[in-house]
């Protein structure tokens, strides 16, 4: 008799597992349960339909239930909700949401892909129909139809993670003034503060009203469309629709009620089996192992969910395969910027007590003499031996390529010295002879080998300069200081004049040198170190990074 597999949940995880199972076994009986109407749609495309970037709604759907049945011979049951699991009887209780009928199905193997649901904190007024979340196609339709019908002038987005920022951009694309509210001190929690500061400045430049260190306290009905939002600080925002994008939580009720082992998410072994060996789980609902730290984590991303689906199908089919963990590689568009990261942030490593170092560079996206090149900020995080732990990048061009290269190196547990040796494609419209990835490896190697003593912008901002414990030297040209500003208390000695003016500097005091992005200050430090200035350090990321972080730490919303 053919094996019978029931899969609970479609989209990236469940549908991918079903397709892979059929490709491996033509005789297997496969039942795919989806409580909604759609089994395969582009979750990540939902904000872009709302913003009219994707103009045709049909393009959101990757596969219809009918086509999935025809292509894969899978028993697809939409509007069918699994309401309980009996592991002892190997059965699932299912409700047909259209008829209300409840019935049971037996299985040989069960695959759980229930996903995660948006957080809805118990705030007054949160059930108002003008307060939306965005997870499903139905959610997308409700938001889109509200905008079409009411044409709101303003909207509030609560939460500044990836969905929150994508919604802010797409609402503004519809001519709606956006206020973005975030309970923590920065946007995008996977970034470190100095990188997030660059994104925050860009959001403000684009006209987004940003309220950090604040949160929604209540939503009140108004005479017009939308709700009035009161923040914890007492500020009242212009009424309009509200998009709740305050993170997600894994859907665990089915697993918990079935007696499966549950921690942060559904606990699985390296083969993605739950505590019941014939029940597998995958996607946003499972507790994964962080590839870098080895700690249990929740990392809800579509890419890992697809990979897990393939591994689950392989294991059910007898092709033993392990899931090695999730490293959290992510990317998003924020107006004119691309923001990407992989691995673990410096802040998270320090909170966990893991020693690490980092470097920040501002290379061009490609050769500076070729038209259209633009700078990016690239941060590389590594341990004391040089093993790559993470990277973050913010820029308008070339960010995806660099993060993907570093993500690959991280996956194979390579070091910053390996980045130096990579032979990457080069032509002026695409890169430089020394790619930014190579450059990050060189700078990191210099730091580890003691050739480049450094101080971070955060450390400099926290330093006690009132007692003249630090001597600051700006090695840019005078016109750069006039046009771009400078750090208070710094003296200006352009790099070309440093050798003739080093007598103005004290070898006894801490000495911090900086330029726009860090290259000239590196050269300056090398000059001084070879002349007996043993306490000289370069400012990581230069004045460009320092200025953005200083403004954000001071709560200054002025444009860069």
Q: Which of 89, 86, 60, 83 is closest to 8 using CA atoms?
A: 83
**C-alpha 358 chain-centroid distance:** 19
Nearest alpha-carbon partner for 522 in 510, 535, 513, 511: 513
* Extended strands (E) in 328-464: 330-334, 337-343, 357-361, 376-382, 388-395, 454-455
The residues, any chain, with a CB within 8 Å of residue 99's CB and separated by 6 or more, are none
| CA dist., res. 406 & res. 382, Å (int) | 11
Task: Give the CA radius of gyration of the chain.
Answer: 26
Element (H, E) at 348: helix 346-351
Mark whether 44 is an active-site residue: yes
DSSP bridge partners of 415? 387
Q: CA torsion sign, 50 to 53 to 57 to 60?
A: negative
Determine the Cα–Cα distance for residues 92 and 395; give it in Å rounded to an integer: 49
Residue 434: DSSP 8-state: S
Q: Are the C-beta atoms of 155 and 178 separated by less than 8 Å?
A: yes
Which residues contact residue 508 at a Cβ distance below 8 angstroms, ignoring those fewer than 6 apart? Answer: 535
Q: How far apart (Å, rounded) are the C-alpha atoms in residues 375 and 193?
A: 19
Q: What is the DSSP letter of 413?
A: T
Q: How far apart are the first and last CA of the chain?
A: 68
Burial class (CB in 10 A: 0-12, 13-18, 19+), 483: exposed
From the list 44, 356, 359, 515, the catalytic residue is 44
Give the C-alpha separation, 258 to 388, whole Å: 40
Task: Calculate the alpha carbon distances from 441 to 343, 344, 447, 519 in Å.
Answer: 16, 17, 10, 14
Q: Report how far residue 69's alpha carbon sits from residue 388's, in angstroms, rounded to the nearest whole number.
A: 44
Helix axis angle, 399-411 to 436-448, nearest 10°: 50
What does DSSP assign to residue 27? S
Cα separation, 36 vs 543, whole angstroms: 51
Q: Strand pairing of 29-34 and 4-8?
A: parallel
Nearest C-alpha neighbor of 266 from the set 317, 207, 308, 208: 308
Residues forming the active site: 44
């Amino acid at each position: 008799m053919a094996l019978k597999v029931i899969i609970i949940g479609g989209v990236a995880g469940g549908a991918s597992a079903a397709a892979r199972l059929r490709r491996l076994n033509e005789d297997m009986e496969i039942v795919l349960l989806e409580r909604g109407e759609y089994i395969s749609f582009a979750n990540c495309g939902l904000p872009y339909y709302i913003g009219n970037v994707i103009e045709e709604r049909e393009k959101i759907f990757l596969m219809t239930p009918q086509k999935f049945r025809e292509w894969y011979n899978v028993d697809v049951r939409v509007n069918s909700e699994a309401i309980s699991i009996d592991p002892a009887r190997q059965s699932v209780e299912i409700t047909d949401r259209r008829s209300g009928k409840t019935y049971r199905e037996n299985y040989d193997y069960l695959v759980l892909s229930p996903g995660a649901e948006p957080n809805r904190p118990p705030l007054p007024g949160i059930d108002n129909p003008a307060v939306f979340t965005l997870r499903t196609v139905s959610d997308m339709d409700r938001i889109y139809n509200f905008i079409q019908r009411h044409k709101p002038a303003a909207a509030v987005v609560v939460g500044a993670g990836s969905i929150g920022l994508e919604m802010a951009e797409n609402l503004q694309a519809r001519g709606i003034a956006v206020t973005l509210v975030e309970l923590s001190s920065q946007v995008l929690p996977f970034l470190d503060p100095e990188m997030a500061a660059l994104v925050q400045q860009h959001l403000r430049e684009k006209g987004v009203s940003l309220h950090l260190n604040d949160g929604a306290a209540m939503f009140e009905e108004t005479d017009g469309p939308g709700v009035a939002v009161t923040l914890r600080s007492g500020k009242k925002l212009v009424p309009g629709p509200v998009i709740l994008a305050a993170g997600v939580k894994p859907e665990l009720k089915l697993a918990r009620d079935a007696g499966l082992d549950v921690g942060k998410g559904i606990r699985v072994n390296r083969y993605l089996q739950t505590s019941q060996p014939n029940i597998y789980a995958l996607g946003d609902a499972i507790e994964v192992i962080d590839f870098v730290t080895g700690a249990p984590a929740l990392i809800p991303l579509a890419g890992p969910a697809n990979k897990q689906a393939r591994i689950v199908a392989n294991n059910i089919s007898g092709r033993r395969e392990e899931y090695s963990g999730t490293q959290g590689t992510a990317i998003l568009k924020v107006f004119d910027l691309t923001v990407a990261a992989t691995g673990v942030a410096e802040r998270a490593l320090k909170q966990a007590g893991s020693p690490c170092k980092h470097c920040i560079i501002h290379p061009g996206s490609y050769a500076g003499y070729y038209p259209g090149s633009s700078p990016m900020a690239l941060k590389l995080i590594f341990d004391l031996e040089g093993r790559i732990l993470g990277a973050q990048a913010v820029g308008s061009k070339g960010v995806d390529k660099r993060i993907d290269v570093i993500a690959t190196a991280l996956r194979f547990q390579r070091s910053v010295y390996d980045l130096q040796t990579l032979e990457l494609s080069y032509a002026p419209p695409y890169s430089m002879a020394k790619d930014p990835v190579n450059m990050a490896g060189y700078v990191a190697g210099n730091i580890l080998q003691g050739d480049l003593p450094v101080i971070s912008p955060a450390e400099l901002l926290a330093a006690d300069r009132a007692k003249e414990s630090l001597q600051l030297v700006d090695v840019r040209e005078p016109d750069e200081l006039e046009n771009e500003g400078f750090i208070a208390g710094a003296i200006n000695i352009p790099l070309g004049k440093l050798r003739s003016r080093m007598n103005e500097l004290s070898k006894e005091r801490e000495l911090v040198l900086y330029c726009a992005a860090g290259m000239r200050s590196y050269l300056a430090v090398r000059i001084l170190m070879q002349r007996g200035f043993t306490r000289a350090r370069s400012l990581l990321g230069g004045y460009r990074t320092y200025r953005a972080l200083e403004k954000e730490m001071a709560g200054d919303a002025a444009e860069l």
